[in-house]
Amino acid sequence: MTSWALPAGGHKLVLGMVHLTPLPGTPFHRPHSFPEILDTAVASARALYEGGADGCLIQTVDRVYSVADESDPARTVAMGLIARAAVEATGGDFRVGVQMMRNATRASLAVAQVAGGDFVRAGALVGQTLTAHGMVRPDPLEVMSYRRSIGAEHVGIVADIDSMHFTWHGGEKTTPEVARAARTVGADAVSLSHPDPRTALEMIASVREAVPQLPLILAGHTNHDNAARLLAAADGAFVGTCLERDGWGGTVDADLVRRYVDLVRGTER
């Protein structure tokens, strides 16, 4: 059983985003800035932990990406050091996730396995999606074979099925159909989002009906105003901008985390 077995009692997972500035091995990395990137990421993970969040997702924000499932060696090592530091700075029940954009799922799995992480997020696991960097064509057989080859079956895979990172490209396929396909190839949970809360709730309901036992995580667009309503329907959320000082990409603020968590916990009673 992977780490994506949901907690009992309807507990909602609050998973804060730790957004990284460009890492070594990428064209926009600022030379000699890695110690600062590491310290900022650890401070954000610690703020999420102290604020009562259930975990974090460490995500690369390198501005330009390969669309292949690959990662520069320096970038992978940097992410591994950050992930391990986040694990060491938080408690044993705090879930640490890895997402190496655009869709370096195997490298993400390797980092999570070696660094002691709990899950990865795949921007695409089935189908294909058109991005600003080109067409992303995942290979789920390769991903699942690699996960087994490194003994990382316990590392959960959360697959985007309809979000800012993934839209099914080529022919008509509904969000529930994509969810079912992701589950079939081995996803442990799926993530979706929409900027309109009503549409997001409709998407959640349709996936629930099609794949009732599949954990469903919101992939953005939640905040202190809509979290209670949206998390009453979903199993958890990746939460970024509304928890960061100075907006997207800033350091996470523990007080903002506590306010968000308090709102979500109210949906569990």
Helix/strand/coil (H, E, C) string of 249-266?
CCCECHHHHHHHHHHHHH
Task: Give the single-character DSSP code of 102.
Answer: T
Q: Which domains does the chain have, with CATH numbers?
A: 13-268 (3.20.20.70)
Q: State how far the Cα of 147 lies from the Cα of 153, in Å rounded to an integer.
A: 6
Q: Which amino acid is at 218?
A: L
Q: State how far the Cα of 130 lies from the Cα of 185, in Å rounded to an integer.
A: 21
Contact partners, residue 232, CB within 8 Å, separation at least 6: 267
Does the pLDDT at position 269 exceed 60?
Answer: no
Task: Give the confidence band of 152 by pLDDT, cuts at 50, 70, 90.
Answer: very high
Name the percent of the chain in helix, strand, coil, to the closest 5.
Answer: 40, 20, 45
Which residue reads 């924000």 in tokens? 61
Q: State how far the Cα of 30 lies from the Cα of 214, in Å rounded to an integer.
A: 40
Q: What is the pLDDT of residue 2?
A: 57
Q: CB–CB of 210/173 below 8 Å?
A: no
Residue 158, phi then psi, degrees to nearest 5:
-100, 120
Residue 78, phi then psi, degrees to nearest 5:
-60, -45
Does the pLDDT at position 107 exceed 90?
Answer: yes
Q: CB–CB of 111/85 below 8 Å?
A: no
Q: What is the pLDDT of residues 35-90, one digit of tens each?
A: 999 999 999 999 999 999 999 999 999 999 999 999 999 999 999 999 999 999 99
- Single pTM value for the model: 0.96
Q: What is the pLDDT of residues 186-241, one digit of tens each?
A: 999 999 999 999 999 999 999 999 999 999 999 999 999 999 999 999 999 999 99
- Tell me which residue of 217, 227, 236 sits closest to 262, measured CA to CA: 227
Does the pLDDT at position 260 exceed 60?
Answer: yes
Q: Which amino acid is at 201?
A: L
Q: What is the pLDDT of residue 28?
A: 97
Provide the 10 A C-beta neighbour count for residue 262.
14
Task: Give the confidence band of 91 by pLDDT, cuts at 50, 70, 90.
Answer: confident
Task: Give the confidence band of 248 by pLDDT, cuts at 50, 70, 90.
Answer: low
Q: State how far the Cα of 40 lies from the Cα of 20, in Å rounded to an integer.
A: 8
- The CA-atom distances, in angstroms, between 155 and each of 52, 72, 260, 262 are 22, 22, 26, 28
Q: What is the pLDDT of residues 123-148, one digit of tens each?
A: 999 999 999 999 999 999 999 999 99
Q: State how far the Cα of 52 lies from the Cα of 132, in Å rounded to an integer.
A: 35
Q: What is the pLDDT of residue 3?
A: 65
Query: Is the model more confident about 10 or about 54?
Result: 54
- From the CA atom positions of the chain, what is the Rg in Å? 17
Q: Mean pLDDT across the stretch 26-35?
A: 97
- The CA-atom distances, in angstroms, between 206 and each of 111, 193, 196, 209, 251 are 33, 13, 16, 5, 35
